[in-house]
A and B are shown apart, each in its own frame.
Chain A
Amino acid sequence: MIMKKIPYIFIIFSMLSCNDYLDIVPDKTQELSLLFERKNAAYTALVTCYSYLPENDHLYETFVMATDELTTPFAKEPAGTDLMKGEQQSDNPLLSLWSGYNQYDPNSQNSLFEGIRACNTLIDNIDNVLDMSLTEKLVWKSEAMFLKAYFHYLLLIKYGPVPIIDINLPISASVEEVKVKRATVDEVFNYIINTIDTAIAGLPPRVINDNNLGRIDQVIAKSIKSRVTLFYASPLFNGNSELYSTFTNNDGVHFFNQSYEQSRWELAADVAKEAIDAAVENGIEFYYYNDEPLETDKRTYQNSDFLKSIYNNRYVVTDRWNDELIWGHSRPVGSNDDWWWQIQAGALLKDPNSSRVEAAWQWVSPTLRMAELYYTNNGLPIDEDITFDYNNRYDLSYVSSSQTLQAQYGQQTAKLNLNRESRFYAHLGFDRGHYRGWGYKWDLKMRKGEIHGRLANSNDYLTTGYALKKIVHPDSEGQTYNLLVDYPWPLIRLAELYLNYAESLNEAYGPTQEVYDALNLIRQRAGIPNIEESWSDPAIAKNVNKHTTKEGLRGIIHNERQIELSFEGHRYNDMRRWMTAHIDFNTPVYGWSVDATDINDYYTKIIVGQRTFLKERDYLHPIKTSELTKNSNLIQNPNW
């Protein structure tokens, strides 16, 4: 019986066709080309390009922390602070835009080369999409083009010469093909400038749709081009025979051009002017606060230009999408609920009215150097103002009735904290000063054991005795992280264009009225006298008419730029392009004695940290050792 059926069993088994049995993946499962069939899917490809933009508002990834502007307690180690301490190394580089980095956040920065590849992929494939118009395709392509150029720019200013990746190498590329070479600095600059030009032609003049804020337009592209040309003309990249006379490729060609070209400043000036014109044409203007002041300030506000200036400068960065912002990073850190990574969480003061333990960290503090950088109320540096008691600036002084907008009336604080320009009070908080936030104006008391001072043995404290206000939204609260108020981190704003313009004009043609005019727009908002007024008055200026010489004016422009763009991530790059970083980034960090309770002890200047920046090495970041191993055509930056 059974035996007879056995042959049938055989037949059943053999009927299972082998390949059908093993072919189990349904069609259209996983192919990149599926992205470029419909507009909707293609949009993810566009978004991917944007996602590679570095996050400068990320506490652990920002370059804002990497300068002499800010410092943190010894135990806290954002990558930027580590960098400034001299902990950069080539095996596992900090804040490496080349190889990517990830200090804590798993979603952190990937290699910008991945971003460049994503841009190229979009440019190569967008024409395949069926349901998009040609104009729209051109806009997207131009956005990707711009981002690609911007990523090259970001790499260039950190690494100097970098490979130009204009087209993607195929996956099947051979071992030799993938070993790309570093192009010279000039080649990379020219590539970036040309690519931005191509992008400008295809971009809309200005993105105004509320839903699309953050996307690239002509004004943005032209503004970034202004910054690129400024770097192109700056000492680090223009005729740098001092540092890089022996830094050549394998053919003996210098990576850095060895002779200075004055004409680059002329180009930078032209490009800045073009950007300003485009911006102004599209309604971009200097920011002035136009909302209601705090209840407690209301009466004074009407009659005090000084207080108005404080408000203007307090909100200039944090007021969302304000008229001055040209390009804002429209994905604030924390939009994925990782609020605690925001740099403002680190800087935010704890709420004295709350009995709870807050989420605010209160350990990112401006250095004493920054406190000394801001002008006096005459619009002059503190050591150039005859009326300012520079030599005794650390001595104590009672706050008089005429200084009530600066600090708490009748209290004692250092002279350094009094009679300063409005930006000082808008950007920095200090012991016995004021702090506007969460709907109140509070009185800061920052000595040890006091309400804003260091609590016993707490590691969360302001090491220098200064608090940072500029990048903290006044409505951000610290009880829980989601009470932080997001704002688009400024990638470029109008004030910078005028500073770019002033700097390049002065370098190209020397002091002119146009330079003064550009700077005065900024000084006006800062509530200080015009440049000519401050510097020509022998009653206040030690160095009368400094602004009339090219060198003198250069110093003034640099100073103005450092104040106006402070804490926004410019200083690290500016000090390097001016080649002054090895001086300023190589000194101890100073602050008040925050572990003192006694007032006299507290106002003793002490060293609160160390910084290291080697002139021969640290102007350029190291390429990761493993990358050099993989690509023998790459040459490591000098002295790494």
Chain B
Amino acid sequence: MFKKILYILSLIFCISGLFGQQHLVSGEIVDDTGIQLPGVTVIESGTNNGTVSDLDGKYVLNLSSKDASVVFSYLGFKTKTVAVNNQRYINIILESDVEELEDVQVVAFQKQKRNSVIGSISTIKPAELQQPTSNFTAGLAGKLAGVISYQRSGEPGQDNAQFFIRGVTTFGYKNNPLILIDGLQVTTDDLARIEPDNIASFSIMKDATATSLYGSRGANGVILVTTKEGTKGRAKVSVRYENKFSMPSKVNKFLEGVSYMNLYNEALRMRDETALPLYSRYKIDGTQQNLDPNLFPNFDWQKSLIKDYTENKKLNLNVSGGGEVAQYYLSVSHNIDNGLLNVDPLSNFNNNIKINRSNLRANINIDLTSTTEIAVKFSSLFERYNGPIDSGSDIFKSVMQANPVNFPAYFNNIPNQEIFNHTLFGNKGLGGYPNPYADMVKGYRDYSQSTILSQAQLRQNLDFITPGLELRAMASIKSYSRNSTQREYTPFYYGVAEIDTEQGVNYFLYQIQEGTEYLNNPEVSTESNSNTYYELITEYNRGFNDDKHNLGALFVYYASESLNTLNNENAFSTLPRRNMGLSGRVSYNFKEKYFTEINFGYNGSERFAEKERFGFFPSVGGGWMLSEERFIKSLLPKFTMLKLRFSYGLVGNDGISSEQDRFFYLSDVSFNDGSTGYTFGNDFNNYYDGYNINRYSNPNVTWEVAKKTNYGLEFEYNNALMVQLEYFTEKREKIYQAWDYIPETMGLTSTVNSNIGEVQSEGVDISLDYNKAFKNGLILTGRGNFTYSTNKILVNGEPDYPFDNLSRIGYPINQDWGLIAERLFIDEEDILNSPEQFNGLSSSVAGYLPGDIKYVDINGDGIINENDYTPIGKPYIPEIIYGFGFSAMYKNFDLSVFFQGSARSSFTIRKFGQDEDIAPFIGERNALSYIADNHWSVNNPDIYSFWPRLSTESVPNNDQKSTWWLRDGDFLRLKNIEFGYTFSPDKGIFKNTNTRIYFTGVNLFYLSKFKLWDPEMGDGGLGYPPQKVFNLGLQFNL
């Protein structure tokens, strides 16, 4: 692979070696905010000799003389002429020409002038999204106003960040946005794997006006990405190479053997005074003295499973250019991402996660005639994965499953070891204790997947029918397939048995489980899906009466189909998904001062009964460019732009339930269900499956509808500060939801659902941009944005609760319910004087003791039980995401710093009863060292200790969701810091090129009240942590 790239590279170098002119001048062109300007026309004054600046604003021009003048011109900017005077390197700042500003904005199905946009849309320059992580979604948090995002895991391939536009505003099934790349619906994974270098524009659409054209699909907002296209001119080459060192942002600490055993024995006695210690003095002493590690293991599972850091690489290469007829943009990139798992030295296959990903993209535009344009876009993504059988995250979690002293990962240095040619994995007793190391190394999983997308577009100017009319058509096919295999052997488990002999204790190994010496046959699975999409668009834009009246109209017809072959699914999942619809927009503005717009989507989805199959989603909006008014100009002269916007409308959501749960007008019955099967007969051989009703039919099920209102204010102050302020409200109705009032006595085997849920949301998004170019060449850019989104449930089908604290009405969707923990019990008397908790009796085995959690009797009924659950903390998904940062450029140096924060969220640190629970000792599992330092004990009866009275079993009284386990999820992190140096293009090997090296640090530190693990992981603190990355990059343009 690499060889090929090098070959291509060298070829390109050869082609572009055009030297020999008299005077070469080069430089960078930026606007007054410091942002590079591509496509600026650079012409030697008085000649036809010229060029355009490349995508990064760089230009190189051969002049006929060293005394010539150069003219820089660009639409929307004041033209600038500079005398060369023997200079080789001329950097230019072009000042924007406000009067001429004809900035365009990508909106649904078309582009509009930025000024005339009424909908709520946030846009970001693709360069801002450039981040040395292989997952594009990881960089979204805090970058765009209106995005709530967080990343819970840093595992390569599984590290998609969660993101929601204006927060989660429904408790229905699908709550994430519609993602479109070049107009095509794609998955979150597709977005995660996009190359930032290939992105031409990135916008999110938030309100009804912006999204109602997407009708049934747009209720959760839309992310719109377009990829770069070629521009006329010579071939421009751009190469980026990055080498990254990646490591956990924070690592959990576990107890070592001796403390573990002492604490375990203590925990045992805490619940049963008569209990014999599990770990004898002899074993503890032996461990302390580091005697034979087979007999006295003191094993650090974390160290054996997980490395300190890993190294990743990335290469991106793109070429663009073109002539009069055709323009092209070609890009190749390759990523290598590695996991943090240790590789077993004892077997030849690699268990560590390794992902090799190649991206190929070709965008070609052909001007067939002066009025007809064809665009062909082709992109493919190949990915090869190799990794352990369980996910990397499971391996991180598995450290909790084994304690340091039961057995080592494998036995070593035992007599007669040479007779075994397999690893002697450790276990004890009858086996069955988790050995995370064996689980990690016993096999591997690999898959190769490919996504191929091809797209053809036709654009026909119909000015000959009537001026301003245009027709566009697009057809596209996307296919995805994935083949996975998994191979493993059965580990041989051994245990140590001790015998008391005259000479003292002796030991021997005995086999607990017979394994296999060979890998078994691979388990193969295949998954594939294909999508087809067609659209036909008629667009009309025309100004009348000297552009006093501007009229626009757009009609879209589309049909899409998606076919899945998934394993192990039900009768419905293999049927295609189809959508079709007609959407439209009519816009009118008067003198670009007063704007109005009507949009609609009329969409059909295959999921519903015939009468509910189509939905109609209209919206209206209006805008007022105040800064065009004379009185404002005189009143507020410093406001170079000031605009008010308003919109209201409906948007639908047909993703109200999972793939398998469609066609709500039909019931879903499994006619062959093993769980309701029975056997008759002498030998119990006469087996029959039973049936099970998975869903009861309901022909009235229909779309979920969002009623969105948006108020916007945007202004530009003094040509330097851009501010956008938006306030929105949304009422989500007809959320598909189970009726929770149905008791068990109905005997139903599934819930009964219908469109009953309602949620009211509101929030604010703010973005600030500040740009300042100083005379001495320093360019400063500041950016900040803030998103706040909150909601409350209005209707959710809950039963008529006997106690108000149980009702979720009026509380956010992701609000946690739990008990209020007051403190720990002081003594028996305290227990007797408090309300009874969970029918537990302080005297019974199941009871609770001093040092266990005391709860508040919220409903005042004298007992503590489920009915005392009450809203605790803040929602699980943060209500506030913000980000801010600055960048500075001075001469050849640049520096940018970006902070990102999250606020108003909370999470519980326990996952009760699960493998991920941090409760120590249960089933002899591991223990976090934090617990050893801070727990209630007889000697230290602190009623506010971190951990209550220890136990080696789960304590039902303490294993309740409560404020005791609740933590604040707020944090502020240094998300990104980048320092770069650009080589002057007039020296040595950098001649005629634009070369920049840079160092990036990601997630270098964070501030949070929570001390155990990275707070962004929420309750999954034992999983694969988000990564801290150190990156060294090289960028090269030609």
Contacts and interface: CB of A to CB of B under 8 A. Distances in A.
Nearest to A179: B743
A387 interface: no
Given A47-B677, A632-B800, A25 B275 contact: no
A295 interface: no
A460 B799 contact: no
Interface stretch (A80-88, A198-206, A304-312, A370-378): A80-88
A90 B429 contact: no
B846 A178 contact: no
Given A357-B510, A630-B743, A6 B460 contact: yes
A100 B667 CA distance: 23
- Is chain A's interface secondary structure helix, strand, loop, or mixed overall? loop
A504 to B, nearest CB: 32
A40 to B, nearest CB: 10
A15 to B, nearest CB: 11
Interface in B664-700: 666-669, 671-682, 684, 686-693, 696-697
A253 interface: no
A106 B278 CA distance: 31
A322 to B, nearest CB: 12
Interface stretch (B133-141, B408-416, B572-580, B788-796): B572-580
Contacts of A460: 429-430
Interface in B438-477: 458, 460, 462, 464, 471, 473
Interface in A172-221: 173, 175, 178-180, 210-215
B429 A18 contact: no
A628 B803 CA distance: 12
A87 B845 contact: yes
Contacts of A51: 675-678, 690
A165 interface: yes
Contact of A91 (B458, B668, B749, B865): B865
A291 interface: no
Nearest to B837: A89
Interface in B923-981: 952-953, 956
Interface in A35-59: 35, 41, 43-45, 47-48, 50-53
B866 A91 contact: yes
B904 interface: no
Contact of B684 (A44, A330, A622): A330
Contacts, number: 256
A22 B579 CA distance: 7
Interface string B732-773: 000000001111111111001000000000000000000000
B460 A610 contact: no
A168 B747 contact: yes
Contact of B430 (A89, A171, A357): A357
A321 B682 contact: yes
Contacts of A82: 846
Interface stretch (A111-119, A243-251, A399-407, A417-425): A111-119
A53 B575 CA distance: 36
- Range class of the B interface residue count: 35 or more
Contact of B681 (A41, A43, A165, A213): A213
Nearest to A98: B744
Nearest to B272: A74
Given A13-B557, A214-B681, A629-B867, A44 B690 contact: yes
A32 interface: yes
A85 B846 contact: yes
Interface in B270-291: 272, 275-276, 278
A114 B748 contact: yes
Interface string A1-27: 011001001100100101101111100
Contact of B578 (A21, A89, A458): A21
A640 to B, nearest CB: 7
Contact of B536 (A9, A115, A173, A456): A9
Contact of B749 (A50, A114, A331): A114
B801 interface: yes
Interface in B635-690: 663, 666-669, 671-682, 684, 686-690
A627 interface: yes
Given A6-B471, A44-B689, A178-B746, A212 B578 contact: no
A528 B700 CA distance: 71
B747 A330 contact: no
B913 to A, nearest CB: 11
Contacts of A358: 430
B613 interface: yes
Interface string B775-808: 0000000000000000000000001111000100
Contacts of A111: 744, 747
Given A85-B846, A169-B746, A175-B741, A456 B498 contact: yes
A280 B975 CA distance: 83
Interface string B540-577: 00000000000000000101000000000001100110
17 contacts: A13-B534, A16-B559, A21-B604, A22-B604, A24-B576, A24-B578, A25-B572, A47-B690, A75-B952, A175-B800, A211-B681, A331-B678, A331-B679, A335-B679, A357-B430, A486-B684, A625-B865
Interface of B: 272, 275-276, 278, 368, 372, 429-431, 458, 460, 462, 464, 471, 473, 498, 510-512, 534, 536, 557, 559, 571-572, 575-576, 578, 580, 604-606, 610, 613-614, 663, 666-669, 671-682, 684, 686-693, 696-697, 740-749, 752, 799-802, 806, 838-841, 843-847, 865-867, 952-953, 956
Query: Top 10 nearest A-B pairs by Cβ distance?
Result: A117-B747, A48-B690, A87-B846, A86-B844, A113-B747, A50-B678, A89-B839, A91-B866, A85-B845, A331-B679
Given A214-B679, A629-B802, 18 more contacts: A2-B368, A3-B460, A16-B559, A30-B666, A43-B688, A50-B680, A85-B845, A110-B749, A114-B748, A212-B681, A213-B680, A321-B682, A330-B679, A330-B681, A331-B679, A612-B846, A629-B806, A630-B799
